């Protein structure tokens, strides 16, 4: 130690000479002040003045034109006025949640200190210490994450709320938006849910039970955990008695009271366009980090890509049970369909199932994973083949063949020897398509599919990919997004429902970031379209034809895993017009030897797609690609627009010529008359000369 003493003295003298203690304290103080300013600035950005109005409103879904399309509400709109709440209801909540509510200015220093040391010893943020005002700020204005930054924001926002609203207003907002479990948002709904009575009529004991639910609604749910709920109620009653909110006699009577539960209606989830709204909620949760409770209770404004006309068209078609195959074994044939905009990737309409609707249930348009069958052919085979130099007229080999152990077959068991590519697509012929993928290489086919947004696993990289053989499969949304690239000159926009989300105070909390992928060239996209027009005009998709509307598309189906049964497992149709791309799937949720489809896609999905397009046609402006069907006019890929432009140009030139003739005609007539007169005079003189010669 003595040897270290000189060094220590040098450090101490240097420290004192440089005033490092003061500097460190100054830096700490500046950092502290800057931190306070930062969070004060964050709090100032929140428009808390509009919070009360925002919390009393439903979350509203807007369509692509900015018009109100649907509301998402937990039936808490308006809530319960604070003056209609009995004192024992308010006292029960305040006693157990924030006993110093009427004394503090938004946050309670003692509570914060207690929570801080509890979190310190726990080694993580466990919560606690929040006042009712802080809970309101967190529930209404902040994300649910538990971090020190969020906690600091909560403190400053709570202080701003206290400056803006009276205590009774804060308590009213809190009680009307907080969750009481079992689908009940707001204390009025909770009273209806658990006791089937108006909140004005609840007893002290019942009020204490409701207040006790706030700590852990599921854990203290009296329907599921009655004894546990009673113990929690007694804790609340004891706290109310300790704070002199109830007398000795009231306390003893309330503790002995038996709670009579009566399952009331509770909170209803209201919405129009249910499957579309469900998809919006799912995307808001998955992509933008919101929670279901936030969406149902905070009064957000969510702007979407919804096209009400197309959505209504889908819903009308799905009400026509006769369009769908008859169910077997007591189960209905299920289905999912989606329509998206090729120009933006926005989902304009969606249906997630048939039969009884379940809130946020399984959506077969967006969540299904099934093998796509022959709808994969244009994506993984024909597109990369055209990119590699093949053309729609290229001859493909169509004869029985094997590729190692893999031996594909044509459905008809007939083989033509050779067949042009467009005909293989038109009639959905399997063997020449597999042969073509083998020619260009599986790697190129798999890479093309991935560009279309189709997830390809390592085990999918084989020749079976040509016929849609995949281990995990895809959804109608993924398939529609892939086909949308053909209608958009080879460019694909990522599919999405939400454009932006605005919070209850008017601040934008999320917006869609557009992502575009150049899948293939415009030339290839147009050649694929010419081939798929042939599918609908002359091939397996003929049942999807709609008069006066160009539809390019492809059928697809998958085989049953049972060799002794003739039928299909999944049926698909993917198609597009110049303005909309869509895909539809039908099948059973669980296929077995009793539940399978007895028809093919030409008989199943194609007629349904036709019905959808017939309903959608009045909402579509463009009806033609201006592209010839492959095989009919192979020499001409001049678009209809180009033909019309050339016709208009010719008409203008003819018009100009007519105007010139009209203007010059008088001059030409005068010159002609003069010339004719001169010619006649000349003839007269010639006749006279001839006569003179005869007389001689």
What is the distance between the alpha carbons of residues 194 and 175, in angstroms, rounded to a whole number? 16
Non-local CB neighbours of 199 within 8 Å, separated by 6+ positions: 80, 84, 85, 86, 89, 187, 188, 191
**DSSP code at position 665:** H
C-alpha to C-alpha distances, 488 to 251, 539, 584, 668, nearest whole angstrom: 72, 23, 20, 54
The structure tokens listed for 258 are: 């038996």
The structure tokens listed for 432 are: 């020449």
Whether the CB-CB separation of 584 and 335 falls below 8 Å is answered with: yes
Catalytic residue (one of 95, 205, 335, 374): 374
Beta-strand relationship, 581-587 and 498-502 = unpaired
Whether the CB-CB separation of 510 and 288 falls below 8 Å is answered with: yes
Alpha helices in 399-459 (DSSP H): 421-426, 430-440, 442-451
Alpha-carbon 13 to chain mean position? 67
Whether the CB-CB separation of 576 and 552 falls below 8 Å is answered with: yes
Q: What are phi and psi of 59, to 5 degrees?
A: -70, 130
Catalytic residue (one of 97, 426, 527, 537): 97
Whether the CB-CB separation of 279 and 336 falls below 8 Å is answered with: no
Alpha-carbon 561 to chain mean position? 33
| DSSP string over 465-498 | GGGT--SS-B-HHHHHHHHHTGGGTTEEEPPBSE
Beta-strand relationship, 491-493 and 417-420 = unpaired
What is the distance between the alpha carbons of residues 673 and 424, in angstroms, rounded to a whole number? 70
Residue 474 β-bridge partners: 370
What is the distance between the alpha carbons of residues 472 and 460, in angstroms, rounded to a whole number? 9
Non-local CB neighbours of 316 within 8 Å, separated by 6+ positions: 615
262: number of CA atoms within 13 Å, CB side?
Answer: 10
Q: Does residue 374 have an active-site annotation?
A: yes
Q: Does residue 652 have an active-site annotation?
A: no
Whether the CB-CB separation of 338 and 477 falls below 8 Å is answered with: yes
Residue 637 CB-density burial (10 A; 0-12 exposed, 13-18 middle, 19+ buried): middle
Alpha helices in 46-86 (DSSP H): 51-55
The structure tokens listed for 342 are: 């090729």
Q: What are phi and psi of 15, to 5 degrees?
A: -60, -45
State the distance between the two ends of the chain, measured CA to CA, in whole angstroms.
163
The structure tokens listed for 576 are: 């597009």
What is the distance between the alpha carbons of residues 562 and 537, in angstroms, rounded to a whole number? 33
DSSP helix/strand/coil, 508 = strand
Whether the CB-CB separation of 298 and 56 falls below 8 Å is answered with: no
Whether the CB-CB separation of 263 and 223 falls below 8 Å is answered with: yes
C-alpha to C-alpha distances, 200 to 253, 254, 341, nearest whole angstrom: 19, 17, 51
What is the distance between the alpha carbons of residues 475 and 574, in angstroms, rounded to a whole number? 11
Tell me the catalytic residues: 97, 374
């Amino acid at each position: 130690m003595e040897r270290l003493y000189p060094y220590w003295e040098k450090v101490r003298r240097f420290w004192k000479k440089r005033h490092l203690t003061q500097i460190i304290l100054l830096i700490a103080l500046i950092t502290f002040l800057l931190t306070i300013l930062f969070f004060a600035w964050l709090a100032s950005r929140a428009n808390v003045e509009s919070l009360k109005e925002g919390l009393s409103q439903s979350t509203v879904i807007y369509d692509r034109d900015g018009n109100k399309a649907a509301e998402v509400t937990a039936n808490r709109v308006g809530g319960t006025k604070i003056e209609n709440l009995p004192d024992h209801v308010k006292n029960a909540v305040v006693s157990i949640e924030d006993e110093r509510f009427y004394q503090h200015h938004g946050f309670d220093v003692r509570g914060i200190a207690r929570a801080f040391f509890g979190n310190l010893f726990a080694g993580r943020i466990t919560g606690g210490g929040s006042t009712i005002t802080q809970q309101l700020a967190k529930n209404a204005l902040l994300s649910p994450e538990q971090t020190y930054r969020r906690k600091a924001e909560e403190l400053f926002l709570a202080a701003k709320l206290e400056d803006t609203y009276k205590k009774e207003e804060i308590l009213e907002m809190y009680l009307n938006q907080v969750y009481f479990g079992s689908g009940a948002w707001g204390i009025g709904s909770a009273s209806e849910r658990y006791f089937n009575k108006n909140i004005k009529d609840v007893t002290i004991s019942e009020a204490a039970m409701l207040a006790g639910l706030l700590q852990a609604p599921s854990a203290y749910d009296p329907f599921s955990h009655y004894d546990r709920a009673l113990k929690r109620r007694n804790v609340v009653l004891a706290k109310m008695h300790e704070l002199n909110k109830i007398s000795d006699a009231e306390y003893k009577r309330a503790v002995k009271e038996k709670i009579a539960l009566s399952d009331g209606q509770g909170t209803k989830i209201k919405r129009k366009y249910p499957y579309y709204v469900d998809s919006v909620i799912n995307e808001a949760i998955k992509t933008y980090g919101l929670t279901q409770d936030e969406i149902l209770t905070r009064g957000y404004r969510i702007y979407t890509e919804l096209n009400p006309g197309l959505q209504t068209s889908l819903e009308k078609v799905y009400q026509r049970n006769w369009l769908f195959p008859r169910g077997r074994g007591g189960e209905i044939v299920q289905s999912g369909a989606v329509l998206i905009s090729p120009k933006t990737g926005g989902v304009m309409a969606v249906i997630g199932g048939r039969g009884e609707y379940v809130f946020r249930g399984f959506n077969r348009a967006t969540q299904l994973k099934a093998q796509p069958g022959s709808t994969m052919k244009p994506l993984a085979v024909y597109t990369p083949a055209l990119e590699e130099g093949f053309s729609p007229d290229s001859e493909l080999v169509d004869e029985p063949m094997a590729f190692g152990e893999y031996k594909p077959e044509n459905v008809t068991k007939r083989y033509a020897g050779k067949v042009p590519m467009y005909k293989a697509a038109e009639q959905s012929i399997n063997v020449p398509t597999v042969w073509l993928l083998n020619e260009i290489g599986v790697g190129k086919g798999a890479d093309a599919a991935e560009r279309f947004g189709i997830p390809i696993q390592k085990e999918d990289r084989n020749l079976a990919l040509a016929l849609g053989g995949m281990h995990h499969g895809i959804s109608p949304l993924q398939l529609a997004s892939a086909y949308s690239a053909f209608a958009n000159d080879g460019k694909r926009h990522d599919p999405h429902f939400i454009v932006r989300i605005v919070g209850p105070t008017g601040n934008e909390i999320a917006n869609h970031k557009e992502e575009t992928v150049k899948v293939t060239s415009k030339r290839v996209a147009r050649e694929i379209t010419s081939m798929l027009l042939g599918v609908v005009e002359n091939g397996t998709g003929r049942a999807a034809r709609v008069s006066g509307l160009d539809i390019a598309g492809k059928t697809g189906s998958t085989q049953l895993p049972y060799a002794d049964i003739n039928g299909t497992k999944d049926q698909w149709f993917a198609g597009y017009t110049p303005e909309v791309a869509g895909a539809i799937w039908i099948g059973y949720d669980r296929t077995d030897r009793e539940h399978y489809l007895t028809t093919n896609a030409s008989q199943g999905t194609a007629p349904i797609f036709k019905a959808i397009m017939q309903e959608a046609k009045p909402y579509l402006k463009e009806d033609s690609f201006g592209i010839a069907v492959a095989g009919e006019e192979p020499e001409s890929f001049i678009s209809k627009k180009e033909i019309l432009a050339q016709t208009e140009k010719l008409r203008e030139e003819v018009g100009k010529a007519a105007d010139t003739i009209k203007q010059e005609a008088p001059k030409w007539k005068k010159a002609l008359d003069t010339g004719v007169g001169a010619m006649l005079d000349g003839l007269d003189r010639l006749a006279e000369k001839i006569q003179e010669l005869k007389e001689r």
